[in-house]
Amino acid sequence: MRIGDIEVGDLGFGTMRLASDGTIWEPPADRGAATAVLRRAVELGVRLIDTSDAYALGAGEELVAEALHPYADDVVIATKGGVARPSVEEWIPLGRPEYLRQQAELSLRRLRRDVIDLYYLHRVDPQVPLADQIGALEGLRQEGKIRHIGLSEVTVGQLEQAREIAPVAAVQNLYNLIDRTHEEVVDHTGKHEIAFVPFFPIAVGDLGAVTALAAEIGATPAQTALAWLLHRSPNIIPIPGTTSVRHLEENVAARDLRLTDEQFARLDRLGRPVDQLA
């Protein structure tokens, strides 16, 4: 799978869970274990590493650099800007152009990169015209500081409005076996050859049904949920995260699973509203 002109493979790694607690406020307590997970991901052939300036107030980006710098030529780093963290509980969209430019510069420093491969607008700020937010990112792209622009948690309408201003290479929305809120966005991005990068990709809902099918294919429920995503559309690149090397290896192994159309359909029904089931 490609993001723009960059080959990234079928599966990436999301770093949010490497923060030390559920608030994503503190860096990991065991940095050695966290860096080991990141390095093992690359050893296993994972090429897309996803982070954000909002994860532990930039410490997430610093951890990526600590683990992987100097980066292998084929390792792709994605990060995000546009969310402020004034306190542990708050995630506030902040899309003022001067803020986005500042955050991109800080991300470049923390990641020890000259260019960020993929830079997402972390959230659309309803207080700032979308054209101004995308314009700031396009300015950074024209200057060579970011290679590709991404958007996170957007609708089809917002995506199309953004594409009138700048090319968009990827969309990162919440999407998994159980939560299908963004079905329309998945289909739209697939039609336009835009990568769709689902966050929180592992969800199994009715554990009994997923476990039964997992047993059929010789997999875990988590692997089965990832296999469903990979079957769902060729433009989908899941980014499961974990703090465990064992779970990382388990997730990466899902790349090799194949579902029949009948198995896919059985899983697909789990997340569909009753009125959509045939």
Instruction: Quote helix, strand, coil % in the chain, to nearest 5.
Output: 45, 15, 40
The values of phi and psi at residue 107, to 5°, are -65, -40
Strand order in the sheet with 195-196: 13-14, 48-50, 76-81, 116-121, 146-152, 170-172, 195-196
Rounded to an integer, the average pLDDT of 95-118 is: 98
Q: Which of these ranges, 14-28, 33-47, 223-237, has the smallest mean pLDDT?
A: 14-28
In this prediction, residues 135-147 reach a mean pLDDT of 98
Report pLDDT digits (tens) over 249-276. 999 999 999 999 999 999 999 876 534 4
pLDDT band at 278 (very low <50, low <70, confident <90, very high): very low
Burial of 114 (0-12, 13-18, 19+ CB in 10 A): exposed
pLDDT surpassing 50 at residue 8: yes
What pLDDT score does 203 carry? 86
Q: Can you give the pLDDT at residue 276? A: 43
Specify burial of residue 76 (Cβ count, 10 A radius: 0-12, 13-18, 19+): buried
What pLDDT is stored for residue 21 in this prediction?
81
Average pLDDT across the chain, whole number: 95
3-state secondary structure of 144: coil
Beta-carbon contacts of 103 under 8 Å, excluding residues fewer than 6 positions away, are: 53, 81, 82
Q: Where are the domains of the chain?
A: 2-200+236-242
Exposure of 97 in the CB half-sphere (CA atoms within 13 A) = 12
Confidence of residue 277 (pLDDT cuts 50, 70, 90): very low
Query: Given 55, 119, 120, 175, which residue is catalytic?
Result: 55
Indicate if the pLDDT at residue 29 is higher than 80.
Answer: yes
Query: Is it the case that residue 73 has pLDDT exceeding 50?
Result: yes
Domain 2-200+236-242, classified CATH 3.20.20.100, yes or no = yes
Q: How far apart are CA 164 and CA 16, in angstroms?
A: 31
* pLDDT score for 273: 56
Q: Does the annotation count 55 as an active-site position? A: yes
pLDDT for position 116 = 98
